[in-house]
Amino acid sequence: MEINALVKTLTRLVGFDTVSSHSNIELIQWVAERLKALGFETMVQPGSETGKANLFATIGPADKPGVMLAGHSDVVPVAGQQWTSDPFVLTRRDDRLYGRGSADMKGFIACVLEMAPRFAAAKLVQPVHIALSYNEETNMDGMRVLTKYLAQSPVRPVACVIGEPTSMQVVVANKGAAIFNCRVQGFSVHSSLRDQGVSAVEVAAEVICYVNRLQERLLGAGRNDGFEFPHTSVHVGRIEGGTAHNITARECTFLLEIRALPGVRAAQLLEDIKNHCQQVILPPLLRISKECSIEFETIADTPGLDEGGNRELADVFMPLCGCRDPHRVSFGTEGGILQGIGVPTIVCGPGEIRVAHQPDEYVEISQLEACMAFLESLCKRLKTTPYH
């Protein structure tokens, strides 16, 4: 394998500043042109917001259901992080390539692009789809928009590999990822008259205590030992509110995160919290002021990936990457969205998740080589025995 060509491709990909809050169009166009030149049928799908697009490209007999290789084109911000070298200039030190997105997950995309000419040259009996999404790191809208299209297509992919960094291990399940913003409105008075006011900070604390009790209940409500923390987790990671020590706070907001086990719906747990707010916490406050309220806004709610539908797929793919046992991870992926439209999905890609989102994110060259070997065997397989 020509490692220099792969490094060059990854350098180009990392060079596009596709932090989720920025546009990803340039990267998508660049990849689309490259694949089109190789004979891929390409579709650039406009996103749900301006400056965003997905790419869906196909090579091989398009009337047959194919194997989809999926990656997100966006990366997390670098603001406030201390990097040794420019995060958008891929930099080699020893056997590692440093840069934002090198592991999460432009390394995988680079491998897929390097394999693309070989997919194009092979007489595939089953097509390969290459899918790039946007906003995976925020609300996963890109994959939602793409799956809407795929669900209506005459032939839907028969399987999907998402190349998130798993050190090339096959992951068959991941937890859901849901984020809710809770906004509490209280009633401001001088704190010497506290019985006539409502402190939004104190109310938020009450809601959070309830969230903690909910976590305790969840510990007894079922477990999945495949995960490091084998339960659904609820967590409050950020809070803001109040103006001074002597004013009952008018406003307090906090972020509630729910990582639900596959099969558990975060929205259902949120209903439980909302009911408690409406029935227990709010009534006495409303007697002090009608202005009091507790509201929840959904920022993101992505279902988990349930291994039920994809163990068979894992059994076929594990030998291709030398993985013996399927793994489960606690970070969110787009897998659950694809499973939602009936596409069995596994997660397998180069690099380690622990360096993702960190300063000096890197991917080891040996990981990229392992990924290329995996794609090589996949290509071989799609020339002979199609995956059904």
Helix axes 25-37, 107-121, angle to 10 degrees: 20
Rounded CA gap, 164 and 151, in Å?
23
In whole angstroms, the minimum distance from the beta carbon of 73 to Zn ion comes to 10
- C-alpha dihedral over 194, 199, 205, 206, to 10 degrees? 70
Give catalytic status of residue 136 as yes or no.
yes
In the complex, residue closest to Zn ion by CB: 104
Under the binding rule (CB under 5 A), the answer on residue 364 touching Zn ion is no
Q: Binding marks (x or -) toward Zn ion, 54..93, rule CB under 5 A?
A: ----------------------------------------
First to last CA, the chain: 29
Catalytic pick among 2, 33, 104, 136: 136
Rounded CA gap, 73 and 30, in Å?
12
In whole angstroms, the minimum distance from the beta carbon of 343 to Zn ion comes to 18
Rounded CA gap, 218 and 212, in Å?
10
Rounded CA gap, 10 and 339, in Å?
29
Site for Zn ion in 284-313 (CB under 5 A): none
338 by Cβ neighbours in 10 Å (0-12 / 13-18 / 19+) ranks as buried
* Spacing of C-alpha 328 from chain mean position: 15
Residue whose CB is less far from Zn ion, 10 or 249: 10
Residue whose CB is less far from Zn ion, 105 or 203: 105
In whole angstroms, the minimum distance from the beta carbon of 332 to Zn ion comes to 9
The number of beta carbons lying within 10 Å of the beta carbon of residue 41 is 14
Q: What string of DSSP letters covers 206-269?
A: HHHHHHHHHHHHHHHS---TTSSS-S-EEEEEEEEE-S-TTB--SEEEEEEEEEPPTT--HHHH
In whole angstroms, the minimum distance from the beta carbon of 112 to Zn ion comes to 14
In whole angstroms, the minimum distance from the beta carbon of 195 to Zn ion comes to 50
Rounded CA gap, 168 and 164, in Å?
9
Residues in CB range of 290: below 8 A, 6 or more apart = none
In whole angstroms, the minimum distance from the beta carbon of 60 to Zn ion comes to 26
Catalytic pick among 26, 49, 63, 74: 74
The number of beta carbons lying within 10 Å of the beta carbon of residue 273 is 21
Please report, for residues 115, 251, 333, the alpha-carbon distance to residue 292 in angstroms, rounded to integers and kept in the order given.
58, 10, 37
The number of beta carbons lying within 10 Å of the beta carbon of residue 144 is 16
Q: Binding marks (x or -) toward Zn ion, 174..193, rule CB under 5 A?
A: --------------------
In whole angstroms, the minimum distance from the beta carbon of 312 to Zn ion comes to 25
Site for Zn ion in 93-132 (CB under 5 A): 104-105
Residue whose CB is less far from Zn ion, 146 or 270: 146
Give catalytic status of residue 114 as yes or no.
no
Site for Zn ion in 145-174 (CB under 5 A): 164
Under rule CB under 5 A, how many of the chain's residues touch Zn ion? 3
DSSP for residue 82: -
Residue whose CB is less far from Zn ion, 81 or 289: 81
Write out the two tokens for 94.
């020893």
Residue whose CB is less far from Zn ion, 231 or 334: 334
The residues annotated with a catalytic role in the active site are 74, 136
Residues that bind Zn ion (CB under 5 A): 104-105, 164
